[in-house]
Amino acid sequence: MQPLLTIITPTTGRPSLVRLIESLQGQDAGVGVMHLLLWDDKREPGGCTPAHLEAPDRMNIVLPHGFGRFGDAPGSALRAIGLVWATTEWVTFADDDVWWDRGHLRAMLDAAKGRNWASTLRRIWSPAGNVLGVDRFESVGDDPGRRVAHEMCDNNCMMFKRPFGVAAAPLYRETLQYNDDRLMYAFLKQAAGPRGRTGTATINQVCPERLVEGFRANCSAS
């Protein structure tokens, strides 16, 4: 099946990558995807390696030593490579601490009909496996009900047509700050027209331990 979507994952090979891959394989949208795994020299001890993860619908790109060590944005340069490499109509990100609900891709494609981009909400989990709630502040963009003054959608929450990803690749390659998703959201809002919305949480993400209390305080129950 010809892929419709490229999924970009910068990774160190941590065990949660396997859960992400299983969730991608369980999607019910009935469309082909290509999963692009991007690696630099950093590896999780005892974790997955590129050699173990090759598949017809999955490709590894191993980048030169230190390529991802770029200021405070270690994954951004890797994402830039993925944005330029993609050849499919649609592109999205899926970090290796994320997994998708079975209907995530179908919901995103439905939300994107007639548009150039779409977003969804994410459900946040603690490292201990507790649900902290639905993120309605860093995955909602300019939605009126957002719980913060600033506008942004996390990288994992956005899907967009490939030409917009190619145009935004320099933003990812050149930033030295931990802000590539804010840059991408602002670019898409300006250049890609109205955003489609799923209106529900269709992805899951585990937050770092240091952020648990912040997410617990700011997430919504649904």
Query: Rounded to the nearest 5 degrees, what angle is found at the Cα of 208, between the Cα atoms of 207 and 212?
Result: 70
Contact 57, 3 (CB under 8 A): yes
How many angstroms separate the most distant Cα atoms in the chain? 46
DSSP SS3 for 103: coil
Q: 60-69 contacts: CB < 8 A, separation 24 or more?
A: 61/36, 61/37, 61/85, 63/38, 63/39, 64/40, 65/40, 65/41, 66/40, 66/41, 67/40, 67/41, 68/10, 68/40, 68/41, 68/42, 69/40
The domain tally of the chain equals 1
CB 40 within 8 A of CB 68: yes
Q: Domain containing 148 — which CATH number?
A: 3.90.550.10
> Token pair for residue 70?
């770029």
Q: pTM to 2 decimals?
A: 0.96
Domain holding 167, by residue range, is: 3-218
pLDDT tens-place values along the chain, 222 residues long: 799 999 999 999 999 999 999 999 999 999 999 999 999 888 888 888 898 898 999 999 999 887 877 777 788 999 999 999 999 999 999 999 999 999 999 999 999 999 999 999 999 999 999 999 999 999 999 998 888 888 999 999 999 999 999 999 999 999 999 999 999 999 999 999 999 999 999 999 999 999 999 999 989 988
